[in-house]
Structure 1
């Protein structure tokens, strides 16, 4: 069976779960895009092409613009590399931003081997970024709990054990014993506070 390449190409642009773009590197504008822009970020193909002027300047988050341009520049300077990659934020039609991973690959070169066009694939990695943030938050909580366990729990416990040894040695009588009992009371109170803090961090 001989495949109809045009049919495969058309189908791929319609059903791919990632964005597939062809960009004219000389005019710095989008030539063709896949259905992803409509299904995933809300723009019509015409709107997305209009927003693609100057390498998507209109929808790339301003804080990520330099990263994006440096990736294109690296592609232009190294046209034989398989691809260049970066993570930036794209503005959706509703105004929200999503994190995307962009992979750029030279599609055509001119007679001087200068890139003329690129094939770009764009993958939404917002869920991965969110998961990473939540994991980092959990790790920070674990660090706090570990620190409190190692430094703030062990100290009071050691004090209590020492005071108990003194009581066992000297017995419970006189002002000295009262001072020990008061110190023991304060240490237990401190220990209870630390345990409460650890529990609060664990339950956040």
Structure 2
């Protein structure tokens, strides 16, 4: 029972009792002094009994009414709690489906305690599943699972973000998986400030972009290969081909010159061999 309600009930009962019993006794006593009437003692007893009966009935009514309101409030809270549980369950189901569809890894970083929690997708994407692997305490700034070539830049980016109290942070880096391999990820975080405007907490999502990143790197390599082939076409092939085109008229002109003709044919053969080697290099690059 609520202490405030009990205290109010006791004070109310004492106040009513004093007014009823003392005040009633005072009225009957003075009436007895002024009038000689039989039965006043009986009236005094009836007054006391009636107070007892009325007070008991009133207390029962008040307590019953109080508990009825509490029960109604409790039923309302129970319905709200049931609805909240249902909504939360639906939200979690939706969250799980979204996680499966997006391959996002959700994280929660408490800045005040330097504690990082992985909330979902961490096992599916990176393979970590033990309690120690799902909680990082006092070691967040080490970022020891970020690739060593990306670590310093990522830490500096995050530090600058907190220093400037920006609301959104993003970075791309390679992250260590449990099997020892690395995956390219796109990390995004959102800052929560306290009432004084100081960084309090961050919520973020890390997305696996390994396939996309590797495909982009592969395209870059292919583009570079195409550029190299284009350069070979425009320089390495053109030079021996120009030599051959220039030698052909000379051969025709000196067809009857037994001294000059063999030398011109040797030049033509050298240019043909150079052209063949260049074409072989191009075929080799295309096959790779």
Structure having the higher helix fraction is: 2
97, 104, 107: which one pairs with 1:21? 107
TM-score, length-normalised on structure 1? 0.86
Which of structures 1 and 2 has the bigger CA Rg?
Answer: 2
1:37 and 2:109 aligned: no
Q: Give the aligned partner of residue 173 of structure 2.
A: 88
TM-score, length-normalised on structure 2? 0.63
Q: Using a 3 Å threshold, how does the CA distance of structure 1 residues 130 and 43 change in structure 2: closer, same or farther?
A: same
240, 248, 263: which one pairs with 1:156? 240
Residue correspondences, number:
200
Q: Which has the higher contact order (CA 8 A, sep 6+)?
A: 1
Shift of 1:168: 2.5
Judge which range, 71-80 or 84-93, deviates more: 71-80
Q: Using a 3 Å threshold, how does the CA distance of structure 1 residues 118 and 11 change in structure 2: closer, same or farther?
A: farther
Q: Using a 3 Å threshold, how does the CA distance of structure 1 residues 48 and 114 change in structure 2: closer, same or farther?
A: same
d(CA) in 1 for partners of 2:270 and 2:118?
73
Alignment check: 8 A CA contact 2:117 2:135 kept: no
Shift of 1:52: 5.6
d(CA) in 2 for partners of 1:185 and 1:32?
69
d(CA) in 1 for partners of 2:285 and 2:126?
37
Structure 1: which 5+ residue stretches go unaligned?
Answer: none
Over the aligned positions, Cα root-mean-square deviation in angstroms equals 2.3
Q: Give the aligned partner of residue 102 of structure 1.
A: 187
Structure 2: which 5+ residue stretches go unaligned?
Answer: 1-82
Structure having the higher strand fraction is: 1
d(CA) in 2 for partners of 1:148 and 1:74?
46
Judge which range, 134-143 or 7-16, deviates more: 7-16
**Matched ranges for 1:1-204 at <5 A:** 6-7=88-89, 9-11=91-93, 13-15=95-97, 16=99, 17-31=103-117, 33-34=119-120, 36-44=121-129, 46-51=131-136, 53-55=138-140, 57-81=143-167, 83-106=168-191, 108-204=192-288
Alignment check: 8 A CA contact 1:156 1:187 kept: yes
Q: Using a 3 Å threshold, how does the CA distance of structure 1 residues 148 and 32 change in structure 2: closer, same or farther?
A: closer
